[in-house]
Structure 1
Amino acid sequence: MRARNQHLKRLLSLLLTVVMVFAMIPTAFAADTASGFVIGPYLLAPKTTSMVAVWETSGSGEPTTIRFGTDANALGDAVTVERDPEAPAYGGVQTNIYRYKFSELTPRTRYYYEVALANGETSRGTFRTLEENPTEIRYISITDTHKFDTKATFDAVVADYDPAFIIHGGDMVEGTGTQKEQYAFWFNSGEFIHNYPVVYACGNHDFSDYSDMYVIDTKTEEYGSAVAGNISFDYGNVHFDLMDSNPWALFQMNAETSGGKMDAAIADKIEKSVQWLGGDDLAKNQDKAFRILVMHHPISDPYTKMHIAPVAEAGHVDMMLAGHTHSYARAVSDQPPVGAGTIYLTHQDSRAVSAKGSYMTHTIKDGVLTTQNMENGGVVGTTVTAVDKQQLAYSNISIQSGPVPCNSEIEISATITNTGKGMAAAVIPVDDNGTIKYIYGDLESDSGLSTSGEPVRVSSNGVKTLEPGESIELSGTVTLTEIGKHTVKVADASKDIDVQFRPATFSYTNVRTKLGGGEVSDINSDILNIKADITNIGNEDGTATATLYVGDEATLSKQYALKAGEVKTCEFTYQFEQSGEFAVRIGDSAPETVYIEGSIQGMPMVVDQSGKGNNGYLHGAPTIGTDDKGNGTMTAANSSGTMTTQTRTLASRRASGCSTSAVSTARPAAIPTRTSTTAATLMHRHSIPRSRTGRAHPPTSASRTSAHC
């Protein structure tokens, strides 16, 4: 028995010793158990003879290894890869980023690779190098993935479509680029990230040192960058530019919209970026079949339109891809000579499923670029552009006959047919004595119908577009500005028009409205300032009588002497006496709508004359009048449909002899500028009604509460 107990003691002692040994060496075991892939290997900078793999690990940053080859079952020898010692820290801990460049590869060849960590964990992937002279180019574009709820569908689509590479137009994270952990939304989103290279443009959410660490530093090293964040590369006969649009669309915008001024460094980067794109990059690539431009902020962004559109169109960019707005849009150039020569596509976001699409596939073959807007593997829209742009034919041409007075607009119409292989913008070039003028559709109109009776597609900037083989009828006007004979030509049709002397005649255009006396419109003012440009379109000097109309009533007039062809600005100041919606114009200008909202400054009180203290506060615009029994009434519009009493409920108000009623109304009723005497005493004076100008924006429905005391 004693021997048995001694044996048990020896076993317990041995077990305790083992536990103590493990307790004394926690570092080694902790390193192994904590080490692992934070982000598995992903691919960057695709070329014909090279590719770059990047991965991130946890732990203390032990060396990793990589093997690769053309046979998945016979990879080459392991190569040790150390972490990047210059990678930024996160939470006070060094980030373990590893990069390996596969070099001296064979074009159009499938390779396999495996990354192994010190703890034995591995991750495998595959890729195909680019072709030297591809007969077909396939790529996918996507933007604004954020938390990327569509990743499962996208993963399957990529494998099925098998693109040469993927373009990400920015915003990989949901919050900000400083939230490093959120990059995993994209980099851990599926198998595709290990097997297909991605090229990136920086989004406003991404902008950070971590975005540089994950993608920007590598693409800059591989492609070169005259301006930080901007790179270009060729694939076959196609040239790609990817730009960082944050300097203008984020930093300049933020500075200027907050009343400040962008700093010199940002201004310098914008200038250099524009110069690089137009003066250097595009100018050197005019021999390419297509030029594709990618940035995060779209053409609808005013700063992108200001800085980029003129350069892109002059440089014959065929397509610009962008995102940011989370709303799909397609536009062509505002300039009629360019038309659909430059097409602007804005992606719907891919954060969540949308009927407007979440990514795009692009196929280039035989001089035609076909872009399909996709959702859940299905096509929701197609855009086709070809090397040969704006291939249009004209028939059924009609040109208005003369004679006409000088500076007259003449009507021109034609049937336009797209005879090309790609989309075209509907435009009629008009030759007026050798000067080309354009009819480019009515940017304010609806889409109209094509000659086949189908709706005409209208791009987001209002220009009508035609698919290959499609026809529409387009009409518009051009102005004949010189006295004498004009030979007006459209395609093979022409007409001679006699333009005759016109006496002094005045046209009123470019109406501007503002409320109050400040630099910006004051919604609390009842004073309207209105301006218009007066042009003497006649051939002699004269005096214009400019008249301000409120509704159909002429209210104010001024006289202006103008020489032939001269333009002056006329201005009126007008004070409204009541609220409501008013059409205002100067002379024959198009009317502008001004809406005057009734309001009360402060919180007016209706005093209960019975002395029981059931006082009420009125919200909105009161109307003072009488009911059908001759009692004084006050009606006020508010959003809740109730009057706030000072101390008691509405039920107690009724007991004291006051009643309330609520009636729905579409807008506040007009109120007088001076108060009237009623059985209720108004404790705050009425103000003149608040106002706003612009196009008609009727107020939201309100309810009207009447107090009868």
Structure 2
Amino acid sequence: MNSNFFILNGPYLLDPAASHMTIAWETNSPVDIQVIYGEQEFLNQTMTPNFEREIPYEDNNKGNCLYTAVLRDLKPDTKYMYQIKLHSGAMESGTFKTLEKQPNELKIVMLSDSHLFHTEKQFSDMVERIKPEFIIHSGDISFGTGYQHEQYVNNWFKKIPELLKHIPVFYIPGNHDDGPFYDEFFTKPQAKTCRCDETGRTYSFDCGKTHFTLVDSNSWGLFEMNAINSGVEADAKTKRTIQQTLNWIKQDLASEAAANAAWRVLVLHHPYTDEFNNRYIVPVAEAYNVNLVIGGHLHYYVKTVSIDPKVGAKTVYISQGSTQEPECELDTGGGEHRLLEEFPEVVAMGKSNYTLLTIEEEHLQCETYGFSQKLGNEALVDRVLLVHDEPKISISKVEIRRIDNNGKVEIKGIAENIGRGLAEVTLQLFDNNVENIMNLFGPADKERVIVLNEKEKRSFTMLYRAVNQGQHEIKVQNVSENITVFEPEQLTFQYMKLTLDHVKHASLLMASIEATNNLDREIFVPVHLYIDQRIAETKNIFFRGHEKKQVDFCYKFYQGGSYQVSIADQLPRDIKIPGPIRIIPRIQDKSGQGNYALLHGNPKVITRPDKVEICLEQYGDYIEIPARPNLRVKNAFSGMVWANVDRLAKQNEMGHNPLMVKGKSVGWGATYLMRMVVERAGGLKWGTCHDITEYSWQGGMVNLNQWTQYTLTFDKQIGGNSYCNGKRVAHVSGIAADTKLRNWENEPIFIGYSYIGHVITEIDRPKYFTHLPAKISQVRFYKDHLSEQENRQIYEQPQKAGIKAEKMAVWLDFHDILTVGTHTTEWCHPAVFDPAYKTEKKYWNFKQLKTKAKLPLQAGMKASVEVSDDGASIKARQQIILKNGTNYIVLEGLPPAQYIRIVTEFSAEVGSEGTFIPELQEYQISAFNETDFTEMFWSTQEDWQRGKFTGAVGFEPIDRLSDFPEYTDVIHG
């Protein structure tokens, strides 16, 4: 067969209806085609389809041809056969069934985040068994990006080709589907028959008594998120698209079709917990009485109801799990804790693979299933039943107990759902006949919503506080309790925030808290800042009656280390003040550009005849190339790492293990210039970011336990190419010439380490970090693109600088690692300097030096304590060999003087047994004169920075190996 005359992808079915069906398929060039179709086996109708050229890409510089055949005037609820006949004689055939006009029952299978789609066999078997009217895919077909044609071919069309010939699918884009090929395959064919907005990506349809609104949420869930995550505002085009999309949704949900529907279902990619989705979609869904909102993106199953007790389970939000891997589990929290700290309305979480909607006039059932690891075996994860009836929650066995004299009461009871369908538990509480509708149950600060299925019963505990002073009758059901609210607690506190600010000469803690005066009169009261459970500072604050006020503290630390900090009655939090100085082995740069690297942690460094290996085994083992102006790129760059990856990430570890990264995070948002990462399943992800766009791609698999040269090279005009051992594994097309690559000038290049997740404003970094367990033998970075031939030449001769050496900005081969260095403190006067001392010759006696150090046997530190009368010439010195731990040295033989300084020499050892680092934590000198006594400290980062560093002495960053559990991170996918 001539290669020009066959179908590349398809046929596949889209946009089913009672009277029409859309068939689409792809060829690599225009061909003569006829579509023959008819009822059952009577193929008695013929049409000649039209095609549209897709955008050119590497495999076809003219662009493939996407053919679309819209078969109209079909009979409802009728089975049809069709054949696609090519002039060459090739033929593809399939069947479909049109929808009923008014089905008594509607079965729909939904999936999301199929990505690599390793469950395709289980999924196909399930669809064959259920025989749904259609399927809805809520986004992320691609594992890489919508700019990669092969992502849709390999992860969708080749995975379930027979299913797609017979069962129609509605599609909406996910964040991985941003790009032209999603639009070519799905948006354009769907738009021929759907009611859609001007982009074609947001549309609606009716099936029986159900109105479906399918929404492209990328304008906020991807583009605005990328912008905010990158520290900039969304551009005008993005803001305009957001507003146009929201306006279209409102108009659609206000339409006669939606208003008269028995059920309204809204489908989009991003979930309830997404910050931007929550801001834009939730108010619209609840205002227009949407019954079910279904998303994905998280790769977790999440069930949520409205936080508004007047809405409750009348609007249910479901985040589907991923269909990529078999997963099946559920956690409802038992009613005792919040499943997500910032979302008390989240009532279940788990893992799942697909959703089955069964819709009838009187009820809508949403069942979520997961596949087990055993092929074909599946299990119910969760079930949601929605009905039109008003919820009926029976409250019984109510007990009301006064907790204190400040108006706090505890209400206990049993709630039972005696109605039909899912219902949220609400409590009608009267306080002196004033109604309060309450829906948060459980202990203080851990309250959460409770939902019950039909006939389900659960005990509950709720806390309520009567505010006004005086007599209160608290009534729930027919149970009442009379309480007296005495003068309430003067102040209550919430929202404690702690921020460290390292200014030139101090480590400052900026602490704040919101305080509320609960009295109806003015008060003047102290508020305490506690450091390690001792009062460190007190603010006396004036409050007017019932005034809220922010109380701020600024506290200077004089010693590095870990501290517990709290304000007033709040629970303490741990903070770290950077202090110790240490050797950080410095890897010399062979490029000639001076971009040396720092070796962190305690890795083994093994010298072989042909290479030096850095063994990154523990979480703290990684390589950092500090940020410098000469690493900035304009239009192109290339990064390469020679690595032997030991293993993949375990289930309890973060994925996206970083080979080489420059930026704030490996995702999510436009947060990096370059990323080369290993996914949990072993796939390789690559990418760069421009403007507010994350431009990522996928291709190739990691070679476990094999030395491999991994290369990413990108040029705005040429695009991106990825290589393993000189063989190309992925390609993505170029971008516009006027775009700006996100250099992230102040961020290092990391090998074996990165932050991962969305950037949390309060800490200016993501919550998590991720690590690569691997051996590294060479690293290079070029400020230009490398062709396939140029990359292969470097791969074949790794010991030579090779081609385009003049464009090379970093070349590390680890043969030359500096392991020594010196720190010299400033000349320091024991007290505030009085110029008169110079003439009066009033000297200080330096009595004792206290040292704190961590000193492995393989490492060494020695100090020279020097005194001076003019802060320039040395009057005398005393040599000291430092020891591990805390030591006290008598400063014998030092004459009285006006100034003192300490010169410390460090020596580390790097070798096959590991990296052994000396660390100096503190110097303390006691000094006295005729009348005064004082102590001098060098302990914080600011103390040491007043001195001079030479060689490989520096500071280890304090939070790179820290997670921040107090922040919720629910942006994934």
Q: TM-score range by the shorter chain?
A: 0.7 to 0.9
Cα distance in structure 2, aligned partners of 1:635 and 1:604: 22
Report the aligned-residue RMSD: 3.8
**One-letter amino acid of the counterpart of residue 267, structure 1:** K
Cα distance in structure 1, aligned partners of 2:965 and 2:47: 70
- Identify the residue that residue 157 of structure 1 maps to in structure 2: 126
Alignment deviations for residues 296-339 of structure 1 (CA, whole Å, 9 cap, x no partner): 11122211111112222232222222222223322223333333
**One-letter amino acid of the counterpart of residue 474, structure 2:** V
- Identify the residue that residue 5 of structure 1 maps to in structure 2: none
CA shift at 1:354, angstroms?
2.6
- Residue 296 of structure 2 corresponds to residue 323 of structure 1: yes
Equivalent residue for 2:273, pick from 276, 300, 303: 300
- Residue 367 of structure 2 corresponds to residue 371 of structure 1: yes
- Residue 272 of structure 2 corresponds to residue 288 of structure 1: no
- Identify the residue that residue 48 of structure 2 maps to in structure 1: 80
Equivalent residue for 1:101, pick from 49, 70, 75: 70
Note closer, same or farther for the CA distance 1:319–1:649 as it changes in structure 2 (3 Å cut): closer
- Identify the residue that residue 111 of structure 1 maps to in structure 2: 80
Note closer, same or farther for the CA distance 1:492–1:271 as it changes in structure 2 (3 Å cut): farther
Cα distance in structure 1, aligned partners of 2:488 and 2:471: 18
Report the TM-score when normalising by structure 2. 0.57
Equivalent residue for 1:126, pick from 75, 83, 95: 95
| SS of equivalent residue, structure 1 residue 512 | strand
Q: Within 5 Å, which residues of 2 pair with 1:36-51?
A: 36-51=6-21
CA shift at 1:140, angstroms?
0.6
- Identify the residue that residue 419 of structure 1 maps to in structure 2: 418
Q: Within 5 Å, which residues of 2 pair with 1:522-541?
A: 526-541=507-522
- Identify the residue that residue 550 of structure 1 maps to in structure 2: 531
- Residue 853 of structure 2 corresponds to residue 624 of structure 1: yes
CA shift at 1:646, angstroms?
6.0
| SS of equivalent residue, structure 1 residue 170 | coil
Note closer, same or farther for the CA distance 1:443–1:281 as it changes in structure 2 (3 Å cut): farther
Cα distance in structure 2, aligned partners of 1:75 and 1:445: 67
Equivalent residue for 1:354, pick from 323, 327, 330: 327
- Residue 43 of structure 2 corresponds to residue 70 of structure 1: no
Cα distance in structure 2, aligned partners of 1:214 and 1:616: 60
| SS of equivalent residue, structure 1 residue 326 | coil
- Residue 427 of structure 2 corresponds to residue 391 of structure 1: no
- Residue 224 of structure 2 corresponds to residue 257 of structure 1: no
Q: Which moved more, 1:125-134 or 1:573-582?
A: 573-582
Q: Within 5 Å, which residues of 2 pair with 1:447-486?
A: 463-486=449-472
| Bigger radius of gyration | 1
| SS of equivalent residue, structure 1 residue 222 | coil
Report the TM-score when normalising by structure 1. 0.77
CA shift at 1:648, angstroms?
9.2
CA shift at 1:556, angstroms?
0.8
| SS of equivalent residue, structure 2 residue 883 | strand
Alignment deviations for residues 549-599 of structure 1 (CA, whole Å, 9 cap, x no partner): 123211111111111111111111123344554332222234333244553
Alignment deviations for residues 374-402 of structure 1 (CA, whole Å, 9 cap, x no partner): 31451240221312364321111122359
**One-letter amino acid of the counterpart of residue 366, structure 2:** T
- Identify the residue that residue 248 of structure 2 maps to in structure 1: 276
- Identify the residue that residue 589 of structure 1 maps to in structure 2: 570
Is the helix fraction higher in 1 or 2?
Answer: 1
Cα distance in structure 2, aligned partners of 1:672 and 1:468: 69
Alignment deviations for residues 249-273 of structure 1 (CA, whole Å, 9 cap, x no partner): 1111111211222111211121222
Cα distance in structure 1, aligned partners of 2:959 and 2:352: 41
- Identify the residue that residue 513 of structure 1 maps to in structure 2: 498
**One-letter amino acid of the counterpart of residue 7, structure 2:** F
**One-letter amino acid of the counterpart of residue 55, structure 2:** P
Are the equivalent residues in 2 in contact too, given 1:249–1:304 (CA < 8 A)?
yes
- Residue 40 of structure 2 corresponds to residue 55 of structure 1: no
Cα distance in structure 1, aligned partners of 2:411 and 2:259: 35
Note closer, same or farther for the CA distance 1:224–1:691 as it changes in structure 2 (3 Å cut): closer
Cα distance in structure 1, aligned partners of 2:175 and 2:5: 32
Cα distance in structure 1, aligned partners of 2:462 and 2:317: 25
Alignment deviations for residues 103-160 of structure 1 (CA, whole Å, 9 cap, x no partner): 1112111111111111111111111111122221100111122232221221111111
Alignment deviations for residues 168-212 of structure 1 (CA, whole Å, 9 cap, x no partner): 011122221121232223123221101111111111221223222
Are the equivalent residues in 2 in contact too, given 1:65–1:79 (CA < 8 A)?
yes
Are the equivalent residues in 1 in contact too, given 2:429–2:474 (CA < 8 A)?
yes
Cα distance in structure 2, aligned partners of 1:575 and 1:327: 44
CA shift at 1:75, angstroms?
1.1
Note closer, same or farther for the CA distance 1:244–1:545 as it changes in structure 2 (3 Å cut): same
Note closer, same or farther for the CA distance 1:497–1:445 as it changes in structure 2 (3 Å cut): closer
Note closer, same or farther for the CA distance 1:131–1:650 as it changes in structure 2 (3 Å cut): closer
Alignment deviations for residues 9-39 of structure 1 (CA, whole Å, 9 cap, x no partner): xxxxxxxxxxxxxxxxxxxxx7x44310111
**One-letter amino acid of the counterpart of residue 43, structure 2:** L
Q: How many residues align?
A: 608
Cα distance in structure 1, aligned partners of 2:24 and 2:480: 65
What percent identity do the matched residue pairs reach? 27
Cα distance in structure 2, aligned partners of 1:93 and 1:574: 66
Gaps of 5+ in 1: 1-29, 447-460, 606-613, 637-642, 652-659, 663-667, 677-681, 698-709
Which structure is richer in relative contact order (CA contacts within 8 A, separation 6 or more)?
Answer: 2
Are the equivalent residues in 2 in contact too, given 1:430–1:439 (CA < 8 A)?
no
Note closer, same or farther for the CA distance 1:301–1:55 as it changes in structure 2 (3 Å cut): same
Alignment deviations for residues 337-393 of structure 1 (CA, whole Å, 9 cap, x no partner): 333332222222222333332222221234141312231451240221312364321
**One-letter amino acid of the counterpart of residue 163, structure 1:** P
Are the equivalent residues in 1 in contact too, given 2:299–2:320 (CA < 8 A)?
yes
Are the equivalent residues in 1 in contact too, given 2:579–2:921 (CA < 8 A)?
yes
Cα distance in structure 2, aligned partners of 1:215 and 1:661: 57
Note closer, same or farther for the CA distance 1:443–1:237 as it changes in structure 2 (3 Å cut): farther
- Identify the residue that residue 706 of structure 1 maps to in structure 2: none
Note closer, same or farther for the CA distance 1:279–1:526 as it changes in structure 2 (3 Å cut): farther
- Residue 191 of structure 2 corresponds to residue 220 of structure 1: yes
| SS of equivalent residue, structure 2 residue 206 | strand
| SS of equivalent residue, structure 2 residue 359 | strand
**One-letter amino acid of the counterpart of residue 212, structure 1:** D
